[in-house]
C-alpha cells in the first residue's frame, strides 16, 4: 500500500513536469527560437497571458486533485479495515503497526475496566435495591442523583424523580431545612412519623452533595416500650405480694396474735410466696425461650401423651371447681421439645380452669393431619372482647374481668404459649366471646 501511494505522488510530480516541458516545447515550435518567443510574450496582451496561465493551472489542479483523492481513498480504506482486536493479523502500513498495537492494548484494558465497572455497578444496584433502609443521594443543587426502592416507597415516588429537586417529593419544611443545612456541610437528624416511625440521617458529602438515610425504627421503639412496660409490670406484680408478706411477717414476729391467726397468716405468706415463685418461673421460661436460637433439645415424642400428663395433673384442681376436663387425642408424633410442650399444655389448661365457670367444661383435642399437629383447647369460661383478644398474648396483660376473678394468674401464660408455638415454627389463633368461653387453635409442623 505504501508503494501505491508513493507511485501516485510520483505520477502527480511527473505530470506537472510534463506540462511544463510540453508548454516550453510548444512555444519553441511556434516561435522558432527563444528570442522570438520572448518578443512575442512581451507583445502579448496581459489578459491573454492570464488566460493561458489559468488554463494550465486549472488543468494541473484537476489532475492533481484526482490523483490525491485516489491516494487518500486508498489510505482511508486501508485504515478502516484495521482490526484493533487482532493487530497482528491486519495488513496495514508498517509505520502504523506500533500505533495499532497500542490502540489495541488500550482497548483491551478499557474493556476489562468496563467489565469491572459493570460488575461493581450491578453489585451496588443489588445492595441498594435490597436495603431495608431508604437511601438517597443529592447533588450540590439538591437534585436527586440516586434513590433506592425503600426511599421511593417512603416518599410515594418512583424512579422518574431522579434528576429533579428534592422538594418535588417532599414538602416537609423541617426536612427541607435539614437538607439545606446538610448542603452547607452541617449534618443532622430528625424523626418523621407516618404509618411507621422513621429516623432520618443527613450526611454531608465531600463533593458538596449529601446522603440521606431513612431507617424504620418502629419495631425498635415498640421493643423498647415493651421492655419498659415489662420492667414496670414485674415491679408492680412483685410489689403487692412482697408488701403483704412483709406485713404478715411483721405481725407474726411481734407475737401479737394467737395461734389460729398465726396459722392463718402463715398460710397467706405461703400462698403469696408460691405466687411469686410461679411468676418468677414464668419469667425464666420467657427469658429462655427468647434466648433459644436452635432446636438443641428436640426429640421425637407423642404430643397426645404429654397432653394426657398435663390433664392428669389438673384433674383434681378442676374437680374442686366442678369443672370437667376431657381429652380427645390420637397418636401424634412430632419432633420438638417435650418440656416446652408440657409447659404449653399446663398454661392452656390453667387458663381454661381458672377463668371458667362452676360446672363448666374444658375440652382438649390433639390430632395429626397433613404432617401437622393440631391442638385445640375450648372452655366455657368468662371469654374476651375483640379488643382484649388483640392483647391477650402480651406479657402481664389481664382483662378487667380476669382481674376481678379470684385467680392467681399474672398474665404470662398465653405469652409463654405464643413463644413456644413460634419456637416450633407453628401458628396460634384465638376465638372468644364474653360469657361464651374461649377457643385456642394451634398448628405445628411435625418437623419444625
Higher pLDDT, 114 or 338: 338
pLDDT of residue 339: 83
Domain containing residue 225: CATH number: 1.10.287.130
Residue 390: inside a domain: yes
Shared-domain flag, residues 211 and 251: no
pLDDT, mean over the chain: 76
User: Cell 366442678 maps to which residue?
Assistant: 322
- pLDDT band at 367; cut points 50, 70, 90: very high
Distance of CA 378 to the CA centre of its chain: 41
Summarize the confidence of residues 332-350 as an average pLDDT.
88
Residue-range definition of the domain harbouring residue 153: 132-216
Residue 377 has pLDDT above 90, yes or no: yes
Strand 144-147 versus strand 134-138 pairing type: antiparallel
Specify the pLDDT at position 137: 87
Q: Are 437 and 313 found together in one domain?
A: yes
Asked if 395 and 232 touch (Cβ cutoff 8 Å), the reply is: no
pLDDT value, residue 117: 57
- Which pLDDT value is given to residue 219? 75
pLDDT of residue 257: 73
Question: How many Cα atoms sit within 13 Å of 42 on the Cβ side?
Answer: 6
More confident residue, 395 or 332: 332
Dihedral Cα 126, 130, 134, 139, nearest 10 deg: 0
Would you place residue 114 in the very low, low, confident or very high pLDDT band (cuts 50, 70, 90)? low
Share of the chain above pLDDT 90, in %: 13
Residue where a domain stops, chosen among 216, 241, 269: 216
* DSSP structural state of residue 165: B
Does 196 share its domain with 224?
A: no
Residue 86 lies in a domain: no
pTM comes to 0.46
- Of 406, 391, 393, 410, nearest in space to 283 by CA: 410
State how many domains the chain has: 4
CATH of the domain at 156: 3.30.450.20
Same domain membership, residue 432 and residue 324: yes
Lowest-pLDDT range of 13-17, 39-43, 177-181, 224-228? 39-43
* Per-residue pLDDT, 306: 92
Cβ proximity of 318 and 353 under 8 Å? yes
Predicted pLDDT at 130: 72
Beginning with the edge strand found earlier in the chain, give each strand of the sheet holding 197-204 in spatial order.
Answer: 144-147, 134-138, 210-216, 197-204, 188-193
Query: Angle, to 10 degrees, between the axis of helix 2-31 and the axis of helix 34-43?
Result: 90
Residues 287 and 304 both lie in one domain: no
C-alpha cell at 294: 436452635
> What are the cell numbers at 437?
368461653
Last residue of a domain, one of 46, 80, 114: 80
Please say if the pLDDT value at position 39 is more than 60.
Answer: no
For the stretch 320-333, pLDDT in tens is 888 999 999 889 99
343 versus 68: the higher-pLDDT residue is: 343
Cell numbers that stand for 102 in this block: 497500542
Residues 207 and 283 both lie in one domain = no
pLDDT the model gives residue 376: 94
pLDDT score of 438 more than 70: yes
Any idea what the CATH number is for the domain that residue 327 is in? 3.30.565.10
126 within a domain of the structure (yes/no): no
* pLDDT at res. 416: 81
The answer to whether residue 168 scores a pLDDT higher than 80 is yes
Residue 315 within a domain: yes
Q: Are residues 277 and 240 in the same domain?
A: yes
Whether residue 348 sits in one domain with residue 431: yes
Q: What is the pLDDT of residue 94?
A: 56
For residue 109, is it within any domain? Answer: no
Q: Are 217 and 190 in contact (CB under 8 A)?
A: no
Residues 317, 440 within the same domain: yes
The answer as to whether 115 is a domain residue is: no
State the cell numbers at 53: 496561465
Q: For residue 363, what pLDDT is reported? A: 93
Q: Indicate whether 339 and 441 sit together in one domain.
A: yes
- Assess contact for 200 and 175: CB atoms under 8 A: yes
Look at residue 372 in the predicted model and tell me its pLDDT: 93
Q: Which of 183, 216, 249 is the last residue of a domain?
A: 216
Round to whole Å and give the CA distance between 16 and 8. Answer: 13
pLDDT tens per residue across span 174-232: 999 999 998 888 888 898 887 788 889 998 877 678 988 988 887 777 767 766 766 66
Q: Does the pLDDT at position 136 exceed 80?
A: yes
373 has a pLDDT exceeding 90: yes
Cell of 246: 412483709
Q: Are residues 410 and 359 in the same domain?
A: yes
Query: Considering only 65-69, 78-82, 208-212, 234-238, which range has the smallest mean pLDDT?
Result: 78-82
The 3-state DSSP class for residue 217 equals: coil
Task: Give the mean pLDDT of 415-434.
Answer: 88
280 & 339 share domain = no
Cβ atoms of residues 183 and 208 within 8 Å: yes
Question: Around 406, how many Cα atoms within 13 Å sit in the side-chain half-sphere?
Answer: 3
Task: Answer yes or no: is 87 within a domain.
Answer: no
Cα–Cα distance for residue pair 229/219, rounded to 1 Å: 15
Q: Does residue 118 fall inside a structural domain?
A: no
Note whether 348 and 440 are within 8 A (CB): yes
Amino acid at each position: 500500500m505504501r508503494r501505491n501511494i508513493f507511485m501516485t505522488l510520483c505520477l502527480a510530480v511527473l505530470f506537472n513536469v510534463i506540462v511544463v516541458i510540453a508548454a516550453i516545447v510548444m512555444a519553441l515550435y511556434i516561435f522558432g527560437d527563444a528570442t522570438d518567443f520572448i518578443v512575442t510574450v512581451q507583445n502579448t496582451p496581459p489578459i491573454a497571458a492570464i488566460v493561458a496561465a489559468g488554463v494550465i493551472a486549472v488543468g494541473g489542479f484537476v489532475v492533481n486533485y484526482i490523483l490525491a483523492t485516489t491516494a487518500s481513498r486508498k489510505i482511508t480504506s486501508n485504515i478502516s479495515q484495521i482490526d484493533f482486536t487482532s493487530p497482528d493479523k491486519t495488513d496495514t502500513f508498517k509505520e502504523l503497526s506500533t500505533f495499532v498495537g497500542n490502540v489495541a492494548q488500550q482497548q483491551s484494558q478499557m474493556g476489562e475496566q468496563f467489565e469491572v465497572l459493570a460488575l461493581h455497578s450491578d453489585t451496588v444496584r443489588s445492595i441498594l435495591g435490597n436495603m431495608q433502609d431508604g437511601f438517597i443521594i443529592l447533588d450540590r443543587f439538591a437534585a436527586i442523583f440516586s434513590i433506592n426502592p425503600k426511599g421511593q416507597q417512603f416518599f410515594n415516588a418512583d424512579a422518574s424523580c431522579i434528576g429533579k429537586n428534592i422538594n418535588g417529593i417532599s414538602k416537609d419544611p423541617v426536612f427541607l431545612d435539614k437538607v439545606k443545612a446538610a448542603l452547607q456541610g452541617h449534618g443532622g437528624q430528625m424523626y418523621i412519623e407516618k404509618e411507621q416511625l422513621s429516623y432520618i440521617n443527613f450526611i454531608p458529602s465531600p463533593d458538596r452533595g449529601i446522603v440521606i438515610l431513612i431507617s424504620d425504627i418502629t419495631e425498635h421503639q415498640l421493643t423498647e416500650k415493651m421492655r419498659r412496660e415489662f420492667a414496670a409490670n414485674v415491679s408492680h406484680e412483685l410489689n403487692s405480694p412482697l408488701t403483704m408478706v412483709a406485713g404478715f411477717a411483721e405481725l407474726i414476729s411481734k407475737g401479737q396474735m394467737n395461734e389460729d391467726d398465726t396459722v392463718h397468716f402463715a398460710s397467706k405468706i405461703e400462698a403469696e410466696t408460691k405466687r411469686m415463685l410461679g411468676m418468677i418461673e414464668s419469667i425464666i421460661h420467657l427469658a429462655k425461650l427468647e434466648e433459644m436460637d436452635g432446636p438443641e433439645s428436640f426429640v421425637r415424642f407423642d404430643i397426645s401423651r404429654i397432653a394426657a400428663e398435663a390433664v392428669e395433673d389438673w384433674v383434681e384442681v378442676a374437680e374442686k371447681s366442678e369443672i370437667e376436663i376431657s381429652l380427645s387425642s390420637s397418636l401424634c408424633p412430632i419432633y420438638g421439645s417435650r418440656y416446652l410442650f408440657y409447659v404449653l399444655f399446663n398454661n392452656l389448661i390453667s387458663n381454661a380452669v381458672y377463668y371458667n365457670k362452676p360446672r363448666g367444661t374444658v375440652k382438649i383435642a390433639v390430632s395429626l393431619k397433613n404432617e401437622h399437629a393440631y391442638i385445640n383447647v375450648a372452655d366455657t369460661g368468662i371469654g374476651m372482647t375483640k379488643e382484649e383478644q388483640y392483647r391477650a398474648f402480651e406479657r402481664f396483660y389481664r382483662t378487667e374481668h380476669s382481674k376481678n376473678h379470684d385467680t392467681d394468674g399474672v398474665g404470662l401464660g398465653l405469652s409463654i404459649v405464643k413463644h413456644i408455638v413460634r419456637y416450633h415454627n407453628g401458628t396460634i389463633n384465638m376465638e372468644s366471646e364474653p360469657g361464651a368461653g374461649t377457643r385456642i387453635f394451634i398448628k405445628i409442623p411435625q418437623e419444625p
